[in-house]
Structure 1
Amino acid sequence: MHDVLIIAEAGVNHNGNVPLARELIDIAKDAGVDAVKFQTFKAESLISKVADKADYQKQMTRTNESQLEMVKKLELSYGDFTELKKYCDQKEILFLSTPFDLESIDFLNSFDMPIFKVPSGEITNLPYLIKIAQTGKPVIMSTGMCDLADVGLALEVLQNNGAGSVTLLHCNTQYPTPFEDANIKAMLTLKEHFGVKVGYSDHTLGIAAPLAAVALGAAVIEKHFTLDKNLEGPDHKASLDPRELKAMVSAIRNVELALGDGVKRVSKSENPNKQAARKSIVAKRNIVKGELFTQDNLTVKRPGNGISPMKWFEVLGMSATRDFGEDELIEL
């Protein structure tokens, strides 16, 4: 793994179709992410018959179906997830899935998933949080629609009931998120306030916001992706396409490299340029042996392999030990 864990969120962008889900795994693997994540649920255990769709879901699906009817079409069976987990193992990419009900927590815990992911919508679900914590595994928790008090209560439940290390993801639960609402600096507030690792689950368009989060120190980046933004479904239009996903991964890895270790030093790549870019004390005109060095007969020019101009006042007033031609490096 790299310093930043990149999670490609397939979510329900498989549209309830296993071959499409496998294709999403292929795309994630090709993009170079660390993990591909799905969503595991029993629709009837997740959503009541009277639950309305979110506004963004209405805009993205444009049908009169209920939220339950919409999500039911996106449900995969536990057998399907067993098949997808095996496929991820074959492709050598980490399989993750977010459970949305208690039964699905038990099912996913039967896998060797190293991490459980808590979505923003479950932060106020006490029985859910307790059951996640009791797995004893590390937890990554998104914090959309939360203030610090909400996050603190959920974090306390996890920590008091046996969860492993907890990483908090700043998040805005709107699809897509307006850039003015992304508020990525809140990620730093979470880190300072709770003293845990932090990251960013992004729902803005494009890849600018995740890169900013990495530059600010995100340990985890999560981003939705899809095969085609024009597919029917609630999350496709706010997702990255395969080309964009690959571009995001490449850019994040470059940002990781560019951040470095923070030690101010002459780098290996720039060291050869010191001589060409810096300057030395040189003769401004012809100087004869024994002549005193003055501001009238000395100047500063490239290259930098002679006496440093930082010794300017040490050289002034000294006598030339030999003749010097114009632009010749001064020697003492």
Structure 2
Amino acid sequence: MILDIAGRKIGSDHPPYVICELSANHNGNFDAAIRLIEEAKKTGADAVKIQTYRADTITLDSDRPEFCISGGLWHGRRLYDLYEEAHTPWEWHKPMFDHARKLGITMFSSPFDPTAVDMLEDLGAPAYKIASFEAVDLNLIRYVASTGKPMIISTGMADAEEIEEAIATAREGGCTQLAILHCVSGYPAPARDYNLATIPDMIERFGVVTGLSDHTLDNTTAIASVALGASIVEKHFTLDRSGGGPDDSFSLEPTEFAHLCESTKTAWAAKGCIDYGRKSSEQGNVTFRRSLYVAKDIPAGSSITPENVRSVRPGFGLAPRYYDTVMGKRAARELKFGEPLNWDDVI
């Protein structure tokens, strides 16, 4: 199981792929959008991701009650108005992609309809992300799959059957490089809702590269996910959490995101592989283990007893496991206090 996005290999044998989700955090300001890319590059992130839609491609301009949000972060907003405010204007896409390439950071997007895919193809997007709310849009998944590009599907709100259906649709549509992200579509989401034990089950059950889309308010959940096998970590990124935009309040600021990038890679390195052997950092401390030492002078031919041989530090004598074996044996020579006991010393 491996993905390759713009030359970066992604999978269990590689450090976690960390994605800065810019979402609506440009707050309608092109200069802020450019600065977000620049700051994302400085954090050490592998990629920045945007969202490609217009209000009229994602919802209807309707005042009916079901098109108004009740409860939560965006209570009282009409869907159309929220998406009109939050979208990244399509004319910004090319200069943003060009700037990301200039800086040397990968950029791709979540398309929300086929026209978005077509535009992103013209821009040379190296991969696609299917947002959690679109994981049930099998036609969109099929259309993205037809590009032949790597695809990442967020699974927030999807049950096991829906995830399986999305994966099958992607594969049938021609996608050969596929990843899924465990996700809780709460904004923000409490850590207790994440049930990270699901990640190793997803890896085994679905057989694809698996990661985490994290909407908690700190880095703990994301870092822990790497220890459980997450190969991708996506988190929202903002210049200022108090900026007042639709997604600012549950996003990480640059310093926090830099910590995320560093800590997830540390967690991956610490996970390592199954290894019961002595580690390189332990070699110098081996001498401080216990071993058998002469605790009282022993004349040649005298018995070795608990009074004259003890298990102490350092570790230059026989291993403590031989304590019972040497008890009652005789000294092969005169043994002095403080000498390590070795096999040549006993008969």
Corresponding residue SS for 2:281: coil
Q: How far apart are residue 54 of structure 1 and its match?
A: 6.0
CA shift for structure 1 position 65: 4.8
For residues 165-203 of structure 1, the C-alpha deviation after alignment (integer angstroms, 9 at most, x for no partner) is: 211111011100022212222222322221212111010
Q: What is the one-letter code of the residue matched to 2:282?
A: E
In the alignment, which residue of structure 1 is the partner of 2:277? 265
**For 1:150, what is the secondary structure of its paired residue?**
helix
How many matched pairs? 327
State the 1:230 CA deviation. 1.0
1:102 maps to: 114
Give the counterpart of 1:280 among 291, 299, 303. Answer: 291
Q: By how many angstroms is 1:141 displaced?
A: 0.2
Q: Secondary structure at the match of 1:323?
A: coil
Q: How does 1:285-296 map to 2 (within 5 A)?
A: 285-296=296-307
Return the match for 1:74 from 86, 98, 111: 86
Question: Which residue number in structure 2 is paired with residue 309 of structure 1?
Answer: 320
CA distance in structure 2 between the aligned counterparts of 1:126 and 1:272, rounded to whole angstroms? 58
Query: What CA deviation, in whole Å up to 9, does each residue of 1:102-133 have, x standing for no partner?
Result: 10111112233322110011112132111111
> Residue 215 of structure 1 corresponds to which residue in structure 2?
227
1:224 counterpart letter in structure 2? H
1:225–1:242 contact (8 Å) kept in structure 2: yes
Question: Does the alignment pair 1:181 with 2:193?
Answer: yes
- Aligned to 2:280, the other structure's residue is in SS state coil
Deviations 1:53-88 (A, max 9, x none): 3633425xxxx6522122212333333111111111
- 2:74 match: 58
**1:192 matched to which residue of 2?**
204
The question of whether the paired residues in 2 share the 8 Å contact of 1:42 and 1:101 is answered with no
Change (3 A) 1:138 1:54: farther
What percent identity do the matched residue pairs reach? 32
Q: How far 1:150 moved relative to its partner?
A: 1.2
**Structure 1, residues 292-321: CA drift from partner, whole Å, max 9, x if none?**
212232111111012212222332233223
> Equivalent residue of 1:55, what SS?
coil
Matched residue, 1:298: 309
Tell me, yes or no, if the aligned pair for 1:184 and 1:213 is still in contact at 8 Å: yes
Out of 160, 168, 171, the position equivalent to 2:172 is: 160
**What code does the residue aligned with 1:148 have?**
A
- For residues 272-304 of structure 1, the C-alpha deviation after alignment (integer angstroms, 9 at most, x for no partner) is 10112x111111212112212122321111110
Are 1:171 and 1:202, in contact at CA under 8 Å, matched by a contact in 2?
Answer: yes
Aligned-CA RMSD value: 1.6
Amino acid at match of 2:239: L
Provide TM-score, normalisation by structure 2. Answer: 0.90
Give the match's secondary structure for 1:73: helix
Is this contact kept in 2: 1:42–1:104, CA < 8 A? no
**Which is worse superposed, 203-212 or 178-187?**
178-187
1:256 to 251, 260, 268: 268
